[in-house]
A and B are shown apart, each in its own frame.
Chain A
């Protein structure tokens, strides 16, 4: 799937989120450009939002690799502090027990 994201960096929030089938790549590219042109016409400071096209197997896969768009700093810190599983030694049972402290 193709995901179009317009992200307001200063506020750390998504302004526009649309998804497209893989077959709609041209349409996704045109929509992305359309948003940038619109921002450029309206914005006093030009384009101040990140407008990106990302392609992922699913929304979950997108969240895993580009969580920054979807989570606030608090959430990222909290999920990071519980990241024993991703730390490479989740195979060790005693690690999982202690890492969550």
Chain B
């Protein structure tokens, strides 16, 4: 993986030292040099994304705190860490997410994919694409707005309420609320995809039937086409209503979380 001035052993030993709480100045400088060695790979990835019209936010350097915590938390070695450099793209919905991920796989042949949508990590759902440029991994996080909203809530509550929340710990009630919200966002997004496919095929159907109606058809055929159009319209209406109902589950969970947080603040005052 490392093809530069650093040997794998040197980096892994640095990682072992970083796991402990205190750091020497020379270790911090070595880690910084190691981070900077990802610069070219990072540039290549971000440039490719911008050329295809994406607006990524790049993370040039993962913080030392985050690196040390990850080393302590997981059995991973520093030389195996895939998110030293990376970037994040937030898209509108799950359909856009799938389209973008498919494009990224084509842009970065051999990239590996971590799809946390069906198998969330403590509620965290997103797709991470790991591109590898000249032996250096660069992580591209692709999140939908809703996945991003959930991740923000999980991370921020880990910051200010309990650092273990992000990894399935913390106050039971908050953890349960976040868990339910993650599930409800997942249910919403699954249905959102069904809805989008139905809307797209309805548009094709409407266009085709409009063309048919331009011809002079017998009355009974016109009636039949109109009936089919109405059925299709009613089906989309039903799907849209269900989508709204699913969003309202998310909204109710968020309202509940706001109330819980207000109560918690009241107790602390």
Q: Measuring CB to CB, which residues of chain A are less than 8 angstroms from any residue of chain B?
A: 2, 9-12, 25, 28-29, 32-33, 36-37, 40-41, 45-57, 61-62, 64-68, 71-74, 76-78, 80-81, 83-84, 86-89, 91-92, 94-95, 98-99, 101
**B85-98 interface mask toward A, CB cutoff 8 Å, 1 = contact, 0 = none?**
00111101111000
Contact pick for A48, options B65, B149, B199, B243, CB 8 Å:
B65
- Selected from A9, A45, A89, the residue in CB contact (under 8 A) with B192 is A89
Inter-subunit contact A89/B195 (CB<8 Å): yes
Q: Give 12 A-B pairs besides A86-B146, A87-B250 with Cβ atoms closer than 8 angstroms.
A: A12-B160, A29-B32, A45-B21, A56-B57, A61-B57, A71-B156, A73-B157, A87-B192, A88-B189, A88-B192, A99-B247, A99-B251
Contacting A51 at CB < 8 Å: which of B64, B90, B146, B258? B64
Residue in A closest to B92 when the chains form the complex, CB atoms:
A88
Partner of B60 from the list A25, A83, A99 (CB cut-off 8 Å) is A25
Q: A12-B160, A74-B261, A84-B247 given as contacts; is B46 within 8 A of A55 (CB)?
A: yes
Separation in Å of the A18 CB from the closest CB of chain B? 14
Chain B binding site: helix, strand, loop or mixed by DSSP? helix
* A10 and B159 in contact, given A36-B64, A76-B153 (Cβ under 8 angstroms): yes
B163 lies within 8 A of A9 (CB): yes
A73 to chain B, nearest CB (A): 5
Q: By the criterion CB–CB under 8 Å, are B244 and A88 in contact? A: no
Contact B163 A87 (CB under 8 A): no
Q: In chain B, what residue has the closest Cβ to A3? A: B57
Of B23-31, B118-126, B213-221, the one contacting chain A is: B23-31
How many pairs of A and B residues are in contact by the CB < 8 Å rule?
168
Q: Check A54–B160 contact: CB distance below 8 A.
A: no
Q: Is the CB of A36 within 8 A of B28?
A: yes
* B61 and A53 contact, CB distance less than 8 A: yes
CB pair B60–A53 under 8 Å, yes or no, is yes
Whether the Cβ atoms of B95 and A68 lie closer than 8 Å is no
B261 engages A68 (CB within 8 Å) = no
Least Cβ distance of A3 to chain B in Å?
Answer: 9
A95-B93 Cα distance, complex, nearest whole Å: 15
B269 contacts chain A at the CB level, 8 A cutoff: no
